[in-house]
Every structure is written in C-alpha cells, then in structure tokens.
Chain A
Amino acid sequence: DTGVSQDPRHKITKRGQNVTFRCDPISEHNRLYWYRQTLGQGPEFLTYFQNEAQLEKSRLLSDRFSAERPKGSFSTLEIQRTEQGDSAMYLCASSLELRGGPNEQFFGPGTRLTVL
C-alpha cells in the first residue's frame, strides 16, 4: 500500500485556463475528501465523497470547481477559468468508514497550484 497519491505535484497555469488534479486514495477506502490550504492557513474542507456519491460541498467550492469520483476509486478536481485567488495547495485525503469512529483521514502530498 503506497498511501494516497496526487498528480501532478505542482501546476503552474495562466489565469483563465482550466486545470484538473487527480487523487488516488488508499485502495480499500470508501471515503475521499478534498481540502484547500493557502499560505499560512490550515486546510479548509472543499468536498467529500462516500464511494462515488458526492455528499457535501463547501461554499468555498464555486461553480468553477467540480469534483468527480467515478466508480468510487480515484477522484478528479477540476477548476475552470482559474483566477489568481485559486493559487493554493490542494490536498486529498481518504478514510475507511468504520463503526465507532473517528475514521482516520490519510492525506496525500498535495498539488500546489500557481495561477499567474
């Protein structure tokens, strides 16, 4: 088991371009989370999947953001028409739902996005 992986690790793009990030969770984990971390801040929750169903989205997730988890395995986070304010580290985490929680979330190394 190699843990949670994210690709790419770094992305530099120009304002207005679309970007897509991928997260591969730990294989048996049925829950997947996306967080965003800006400089000097703690991670902020963006969205959550239970298997393939997206069950909650933060108000931080504007209509330019979309996330999917087809087949309940890997997930993608797409940002359309990027803005400089989207520059941040995007973190993915996964967990296995067990009774009697809490279910530890395992984090990937993140994708650092820079919008020029």
Chain B
Amino acid sequence: DAGVIQSPRHEVTEMGQEVTLRCKPISGHNSLFWYRQTMMRGLELLIYFNNNVPIDDSGMPEDRFSAKMPNASFSTLKIQPSEPRDSAVYFCASSRIHTGELFFGEGSRLTVL
C-alpha cells in the first residue's frame, strides 16, 4: 500500500512568494494532520482535520497560513506571502480517527530566501 504522499519534497522560494504544499493521505484514514519541524521548536502541530473538517487550527502561526481538505484524498497547506522564518520541514500525517498511530509522509523541506 502507498503511504502518505507529499509534494514537493523540496521547495526553494523567495520571500513574498506563495507556497503550496500538497498531501495525499492513506486510503481509509479519516484524520489528517499538518506538522512543522524545526531544530529550535521540534515538531509542532499546525492543524488537523477529521472527516475533511478542520478541528483545531490553533497551531497555525498567523493568517499567512491556510489549509484545506476538499475531499478525503487530498489536502493543501498554503503560505502567502512566505517569509524566511517559515523555512522548515512540513510533514503531513494521516490516521484512523481517535488513534494516535500516525503515518507520516516524507516531508516537504521549505527554504524561503
């Protein structure tokens, strides 16, 4: 079975540009999570969805960040405009609802110059 698929794997962009990260969760999973990982702050939850509905977005840093899940097999995380402090690895993870066994993608490494 395919795992969680994220794209792009690497993104280098300039400050002020729009960045869109994409995620395809594992089929049959009904919870989806977006995490951000940096050396300074570790793994931080940005937002998560249950059955395509956003449940908790309190980790989204500011209005520049937005996430959508239009259907059970696709989600996006958008940053507009991007800033150098957004540089990090962004992970998408999925699971069956109410379990803590998350399956992570390989991450999208974002560098904002």
A binds B: no
Q: Which residues of B contact A (CB under 8 A)?
A: none
Q: Which residues of A contact B (CB under 8 A)?
A: none
